[in-house]
Structure 1
């Protein structure tokens, strides 16, 4: 049961506090009362700040609920409408826009969202860091009633914007600077905090550990921690490469460790759920060939590999960056 005093404190703070400064992102989403707009992406890709960007046009008519805020942790899906009523009491108006951040932390969130959508009163936006959890719940309760978008870390053009580097009417010196920045972008990636802060290596290590322990091991209650660690490290090192399940199984057999093929597939699925790793099928007209291994690995951000990479391979980094640019389109 939600604590009303904590909720009032949260709502009052949201109403009084101006939105923080943000770098405008290139992702464009639709606005409709008939469908929920779902935004997924890896941890720390900037989903919260993207919601700020969307609500900046009409904050006085918006309600933002961050389900990672401790004051909202006791809220149940049945109490969301009561929470909206409390907002109306405090602000004097009912919100037109609802922004639900990290919604997978609200148990049975899809039931609450479906009920709100049925009222036709709100335009609803939700974010999450778990593609499988969101897609599973959408499939059961919100099938055909959502539009899903993926927000990745900064593209190179967004990276240049964040660093106030001009991209129009370039001199030779400007071109040289952009080439230098491209190499840094490939090496450290485009996570907003990494781009804007100085301690890039430490921040990337923190992101990597959070993805491993919070988004993979804890979220899915995995018991074989060493297998989860190995797989994430293996994928981060072998980006822009084809990999096979047999290669992984043979490595563990050589180390005297045994586990079933189904266990391996299950752990790979959990890692893919973080939206930090993408597995691309081979092109073929035959569905069996498309869906079978080997698959090619790409990272949601080249900086992820920095934590476990032992050498610089500009060709592979560039290939990964091109894949991400195509994915954005």
Structure 2
């Protein structure tokens, strides 16, 4: 009996040694190829990463938003001052690494040092892409980080590595940056279109508005932005939705009610820039025969936000009870997803969706909050689309309306803005239009009208 156990243990040890040698060989090939290859070119994104921070840099965001190429961009920036042999990039979606386990990870740094001979007087930079493919990856990353010898960058797919999961895993050791589909400014830069100093160039402004129409329709996913064929753009966008639905939602959150989930996601996209009511959705679904609880629908909403498919906007109030009792407004991750699923365009609502996405980015960058305002207790009360605030006061009140001329501005937009300004004692008032620019003074308040394209490009 003892001999059989010994043989079995030796056999297990032999298999373990073979596996370890196999993983070392795989890492050796991947690292060697990295050192010999040139780094792909990557466009700059409107995100400023603190390269001097001693924290782990984590890159999160929705599927296909450009996280890998953002890592390439950071590497290219490092190469301006740092030697290539002090930088390691590994993509854990490489099929040669598919059987790697946490115990194999200890091979990475010794093999890199052996093959690259990095400069001892400089920092070693580790870029680990799709790190979530390694089970218990966080234990290895924490251990390497705690040595204080390496600068670590990680990214992961939203289908398997959520923001809250990273925060839990790394426990305060990381700084998180979110990569979204391209903003309109980034979209123009990707397509190499000049947009500075446009005021005196009517023809150039016309091109910008034409590109804005394209952006409204097909959105800002990098692959879509670079694709020239419109039918291909739509096919790509529909494939994104199918993958988001099946992998990021149904598979990741183990959702069995796939038909209801699909209906929920498509319905939510259809009401972009509008109020979101769980009770209304529940009653609508119930009327067509779907059996689902309100709590489950709330879970769908929460999960959709976790993977960056949907965003919700709260009413502006200091009262948490009022905030919970009022409906949220819903926004889509990208206008292209809206068009691919609905195949129609509501310009005003798309303007609001795009303004929200840009505002959300700016507020995160500047540690501000964005919400909406509505007169309390009035079904048809006055509303302001966006309220930008800090912890103490209202910073700006913003309306969004489709208008190319002063005569097209609905008086209710101005009236609501003035009511909110008086209520909050706020004095920075803006109305984002399609292509009208101007200033009016009313009730001793200055209201600035700015074209959407100019506001998106930070030219105002």
SS in 1 for 2:342: coil
Distance 2:317 2:53 in 1: 39
Residue number in structure 1 paired with 2:43: 23
User: What aligned pairs does 1:187-226 form with structure 2 within 5 A after superposition?
Assistant: 187-198=217-228, 199-226=232-259
User: What aligned pairs does 1:66-77 form with structure 2 within 5 A after superposition?
Assistant: 66-77=91-102
Task: Please identify the structure whose Cα radius of gyration is greater.
Answer: 2
Distance 1:289 1:230 in 2: 29
| Aligned partner (choices 78, 85, 91) of residue 110 of structure 2 | 85
| Aligned partner (choices 20, 25, 30) of residue 10 of structure 1 | 30
SS in 2 for 1:64: strand
SS in 1 for 2:303: helix
Kindly state the Cα deviation for residue 131 of structure 1 after the two structures are TM-superposed: 8.7
Distance 1:18 1:84, change over 3 A: same
Distance 1:181 1:135, change over 3 A: closer
Distance 1:203 1:180 in 2: 22
Runs in 1 of length 4+ with deviation above 3 angstroms? 131-141
Structure possessing the higher relative contact order (Cα contacts under 8 Å, 6 or more residues apart): 1
Q: How high is the TM-score relative to the length of structure 2?
A: 0.68
For residues 261-315 of structure 1, the C-alpha deviation after alignment (integer angstroms, 9 at most, x for no partner) is 2222222222222112112222221113324562111122111111211421011
SS in 2 for 1:31: coil
Distance 1:280 1:222 in 2: 25
Q: Which is strand-richer, 1 or 2?
A: 2
| Aligned partner (choices 123, 128, 134) of residue 100 of structure 1 | 128
Give aligned pairs, total: 329
SS in 1 for 2:88: strand
| Aligned partner (choices 116, 137, 152) of residue 124 of structure 1 | 152
SS in 2 for 1:308: helix
Kept in 1: contact 2:64–2:222 (CA 8 A): yes
Residue number in structure 1 paired with 2:60: 40
* Greater Cα shift, 29-38 or 147-156: 29-38
For residues 130-188 of structure 1, the C-alpha deviation after alignment (integer angstroms, 9 at most, x for no partner) is 39944343443422221111111111111111111111233211111001111111111
SS in 2 for 1:248: helix
Distance 1:220 1:84 in 2: 34
Distance 1:156 1:324 in 2: 10
SS in 1 for 2:175: strand
Distance 1:279 1:292 in 2: 14
Q: How high is the TM-score relative to the length of structure 1?
A: 0.93
Gaps of at least 5 residues in structure 1 are: none
* Greater Cα shift, 65-74 or 286-295: 286-295
Residue number in structure 2 paired with 1:165: 193
SS in 1 for 2:148: coil
Q: RMSD across aligned C-alpha pairs, in angstroms?
A: 2.0
Kindly state the Cα deviation for residue 6 of structure 1 after the two structures are TM-superposed: 2.2
Gaps of at least 5 residues in structure 2 are: 1-18, 363-460
Kept in 1: contact 2:238–2:341 (CA 8 A): no
Distance 1:293 1:210, change over 3 A: farther
Distance 1:165 1:133, change over 3 A: closer
Kept in 1: contact 2:187–2:225 (CA 8 A): yes
Distance 1:166 1:140, change over 3 A: closer
Kept in 2: contact 1:37–1:125 (CA 8 A): yes
Distance 2:253 2:291 in 1: 21
Distance 1:246 1:103, change over 3 A: same
Distance 2:324 2:176 in 1: 23
Distance 2:139 2:50 in 1: 22
User: What aligned pairs does 1:188-267 form with structure 2 within 5 A after superposition?
Assistant: 188-198=218-228, 199-267=232-300
Kept in 2: contact 1:24–1:53 (CA 8 A): yes
In the alignment, is residue 305 of structure 1 matched against residue 325 of structure 2?
Answer: no
Kindly state the Cα deviation for residue 33 of structure 1 after the two structures are TM-superposed: 5.6
